[in-house]
Structure 1
């Protein structure tokens, strides 16, 4: 049977990996090599130099491609390295349509790096397909999506947005880090490129940094491979090994992340100190129906709005015991942060507030601890900071 015959829970453990032929070792070896013997000048056995290719990385790329129902996978030293590789496709004069609610690091590379190369960016409400359509120009080469978005958990209709991009002969790329391929597979819905921060749920244990690009387009993959080798933002074999370890438990971890986040969101939604909860699993969420159609569950990320000042919200996130005050997300432990002063601090305040990122906004990566302990921790932090 081929990998395609198995469900994702099985592929997460087995895809791209076979026991070592010589020793029978079950786990993919960490090939700690910089270079490889050649049988004759230019006659090698598939590997020349580890920036170009490494067997541990090859196994990870095959595993991730299987999970995303992709033909091709490329891995990078960070999520931003992967995003930068997509942007390498652009030329001076090109235009990009992006959501106004996206990861701050993505917004930073757009506005502070690529604008100096005469690439223009427009930011729109991606939940409004008419707004996406209206933002396109003759020069638009790329539509950049996140769904759920970071940090407001808005939901974008992937199929509808991809259709608009293709009608304008533009590529549709989507950051699928929050959902993971266990919950959402954008290539099946029409996207051309999927990117991941492997640092998050796919690694799953807050001990590795990495990124990936997945596509079904042979030409795109060839160009990604060229940039991967030429720029050199590639992961080491140990990092690849750690992500392969993480993908094996992705399904069971995501089930618990989703269960905890769903219960915590409902509890917060009834809390008197909370104005708004942003979680697509709530029926009150404006994107709930779209999320239910294109996702298998609603994820482990949520945000909520406290009736609090910037300083009060900062004190709240500093008062938790089970939740760790930290950036990043997707590990087994629960993390909490204040976007205004942390992940989205690089966005000018007026732009941040206009996009709905208020001073009292809190983002939580809900881990796999007992949910009652998570509730108790948030309760005591609110009592400490807000009363």
Structure 2
């Protein structure tokens, strides 16, 4: 027997899930730990321990707890934390095809993928996409392109399937590049920002994409710019290294690690710098992530309401099992993006049809990975977003 829960005219808030920070530490004699704390640094406690070094911490799937993945240069592997922190599982052993060292690891929270960057002394540097379940290599990027430079940090724009990465080591190529993550192997990258300083983005893992903006660090401070490559703004001036960056969009805070602690400031205008975690001198902190990195989405009503630029927006059939049609009326040309959330605010899927002209459109939507339940679909363009309810019932014909 199936129970279909139909919610009509309810006020739904898609809130951020647990507000926690995870960061990784390493000590040559004592091993590695992943710690967890609140957004203000309180409630600090270890959640995972590993003998080998843990570096380049990332979230591969949101949940309670989230699926954490990390790289280990000493163990030549990418691993994931399992058993609520009691064990780990090897995703891929890289010793057979990685030359020297890792420079970053990033989990895709939407797709079943993990990306990592490699710097080698004898080969060209490159970025690899693997399955986070079994380590199957899905694609290579930039293989054979950078030989005398190092690929530093990498970050993902999930919506538009873009990989951003930093390059340093030769003044004529220092900068930030991007490449389509769905592009064929061998595709070229586009440089969106260049810099000739010797110290440009020296620390691996110090670039982050959020909401059409990039955040990165060099030894002079933390910078931000539009992802299109506008001239950057200096957010925070600091001396020393910055090993990793994360954001709390709901509170407009940017966090970074300095090797022995965690600092934060306002992600829009910088401002006063706060020390929220300290006391790790001699250990070294090399990775930090916020456990829900999407801003909250507030839905005033599940049923239809007017929005700038959009007419009707619904899916049929609804409820559905295997597939449904997303129908919409556009008042003008729009760059369309569609997101699927559960009622807890977790993002489950994205559809990016791109530029669509004015008029009525229907897009076939099918996702066998969605379990039965009630979801909110969000339609975005250049105007205000629009929302509707979608119900999935497994085993029922569309």
TM-score, normalising length: structure 2: 0.26
Of Structure 1 and Structure 2, the greater strand share is in 2
For normalisation by structure 1, the TM-score amounts to: 0.27
